[in-house]
Chain A
Amino acid sequence: MNPLPSPFVRAALDAAGGLPDSGIAWLDAARRENLQAFAESGLPEGRNEAWKYTPLRALSQRAFALADRTAASGLAIDPALFALPGLDGARIVFVDGTFRADLSSLDADGIELAPLSAALSSQAEPLRFALANRYRRGATDAFVHLNAALATDGFVLRIAEGATVSRPVHVVHVSSGSQADTAWHVRLLVEVGKGAAADIVEHFVSAGDATQLGTVVSDVVLREGARLGVVLLQDASPATTLVRRGHVRIDAGAQATLHALELGGGLVRHELHADLDGDGARFDSRGVFALAGRQHVDTQLEIRHKARDTASDALWRGIADGRSRGVFRGAILVAEGADGADAALSNKNLLLSGMAEIDTKPELEIYADEVKAAHGATIGQLDERSLFYLRSRGIPLAEARSLLTLAFCRAALESLQNDTLREYLGERLVAHLPTGPAE
């Protein structure tokens, strides 16, 4: 038990005290309940297994006020900050967690995209199931409780049954970096209708260097036979602390694919829970984290096969340079009755510096028969023979290192179908890779 709440918890309680009621009774009740759960548990501590490699002692001593919404609405943000080549479809932009209509463009064929505030004021009831969801009590889900208590903005995205949305929906989270020691919280709800197909690019950037905390909780549902591709590009400033939790439910015959590139952030936790709920559901995840300096990025995948003939394939690559630390946990559960499941998980990591650290932990729990499961995790260094080979042909050491590092990551990004985006991610990765000799 914690006799005295930490500065982090006290600041969250203060922030909640300043929030106006939504005017929706069940929503206000859910917020209060989540705030109470958060206050009781506080931030997870070292003995919490799920947070073992991501200590939050330093974070718990910091106090974040809620980012000012009026200020966030008025900040001048250059759209070039988040422009991505080839992305000219719907776009929704949040600055410090506040929806910015002036930077967004919500209309596109086949989709219904609305900021959370607007969705709640027009038709709140359909959102009740997600927003009044009772999370597990306890510190493991502390940030989810915090988000549920404090997030007043976000979006609801619905893809109509049978619709094929050809242009990806661009979701942008801008940390202004100008409101020091503030926090923002965003809640996202996505529903891809039966047989519908769509792509989302979720994009994190910073406009300044002030320390900020952001949390994003998303609920994604893929109805029967739906297809969703998600690209995640996290390019926030090193002063940013980001905590994300995504729940993805995949119904029968539906397929979700994720390509993630984590480049920025100071302290980052990315949790993704995928439930393969229907027969023949499929979830592919590909990701690269490339860390330097004192970055700490923690990726937690939980994939649960709950129906027959479901498939999941996770292929993640990690690179850590400087004094950075990468954490990867990939847990696959094959539930009783999920016969015919096919699960593969690979996590390979490169340590580019003697001061960097990577902790990787594949977990496999199987309660069904006739299951195919393969997992592997490695941590290594650049191959000296390959480096010498490249140098012996005239390629300078720094370029040789960067070439081999990129080659190491290539497998994780090459399956992205969108050529323009794939090339752009590759370029961003190259630009981010260390070019100097190892420490």
Chain B
Amino acid sequence: MHMLKIDNLHARVEGKEILKGLSLTVKPGEVHAIMGPNGAGKSTLGNVLAGRDGYEVTQGTVDFAGRDLLALEPEERAAVGVFLAFQYPVEIPGVNNTYFLRAALNAQRKFRGEDELDSMRFLKLVREKLKVMQISDELLHRAVNEGFSGGEKKRNEIFQMAVLEPKLAILDETDSGLDIDALKQVAEGVNALRSPDRSFVIVTHYQRLLDYIQPDYVHVLAGGRIVESGDKDLALKLEEQGYAWLAETHPELRKADLAGAPA
């Protein structure tokens, strides 16, 4: 049984078609890495799955554990178990991090018909997760992401994921802008959350994150579609050779689709 099945997905942003027939199936417990050159549609995929306004699906289907994901509001997608770790987590002055997270968790629980957590039970849960993520509880008292360093923001995303316990986590270039220590911390957090019934889609520009998070599958997204799939060795090959070689097996890809090879 699949957890996520994307079939022939086409999506437009500001009238421009970015995804052009993307298909991907993810089973429970699997970790899929999606790599690809700049402008291939990597971030668009995450935003479409999370339901962001302005991302218009023109064709195709997305099935999430038997539900039509595209028919759900963003908050409903979260409640059924989809989590997007943002590439650029937004700062929200005036909204306390802990308050926000409890409101989010309880809104999800309410949607699922579960009882809401009072502040005692919530705090207990938060303390457990803090240990796993090695986040100082000082961050909890601040406004959401306000004044956080790049690394703190990304760790806060993973921390939120730990508290919300989604079925499917999409990490949108979570590794970008992180130094090696921060990258390791984020990877450790993700690894701690791996389980047989939780899946990950890791969108990344660089192979190095995959040194710390072992993917089951690696896909290349180019020209708005998955054009190549393989195991971890594919990531290594991309690291060494870039994307240009794909033009031989995929003559339909234009040169511009393959520009922006990883550094």
Contacts and interface: CB of A to CB of B under 8 A. Distances in A.
Interface in B60-79: 73-75, 77-79
Contacts of A407: 92-95, 143
Interface string B66-109: 00000001110111000110100110111100001101110110
Contacts of B143: 407
B248 interface: no
B46 to A, nearest CB: 10
A386 B53 contact: no
A404 B92 contact: yes
A390 interface: yes
B220 interface: no
Given A394-B105, A395-B104, A408-B94, A389 B164 contact: no
Interface in A398-414: 399-400, 403-404, 406-408, 410-411
Contacts of B84: 392
A386 B90 contact: yes
Interface residues of B, number: 31
Interface size class of A (residues with CB under 8 A): 20 to 34
Q: Looking at chain A's contact residues, is the secondary structure mostly helix, strand, loop, or mixed?
A: helix
Nearest to B79: A394
B107 A395 contact: yes
Contacts of B51: 391-392
Given A384-B53, A397-B75, A390 B94 contact: no
B160 interface: yes
A400 B108 CA distance: 13
B52 interface: yes
A393 B92 contact: no
A384 B51 CA distance: 13
Interface string A372-390: 0000000000011110111
Nearest to B95: A407
Contacts of B53: 384, 388
B92 A396 contact: no
B50 interface: yes
B104 A393 contact: yes
Contacts of A395: 75, 100, 103-104, 107
Contacts of A383: 90
29 contacts: A386-B90, A388-B52, A388-B53, A389-B89, A389-B92, A389-B144, A390-B95, A390-B104, A391-B75, A392-B51, A392-B75, A393-B78, A393-B100, A393-B101, A393-B104, A394-B104, A394-B107, A394-B164, A395-B104, A396-B75, A403-B100, A404-B92, A404-B95, A406-B94, A407-B93, A407-B94, A407-B95, A407-B143, A410-B94
Given A389-B86, A399-B107, 15 more contacts: A384-B53, A391-B51, A392-B84, A393-B100, A393-B101, A394-B75, A394-B79, A394-B105, A394-B108, A395-B75, A395-B107, A396-B107, A403-B103, A407-B95, A410-B94
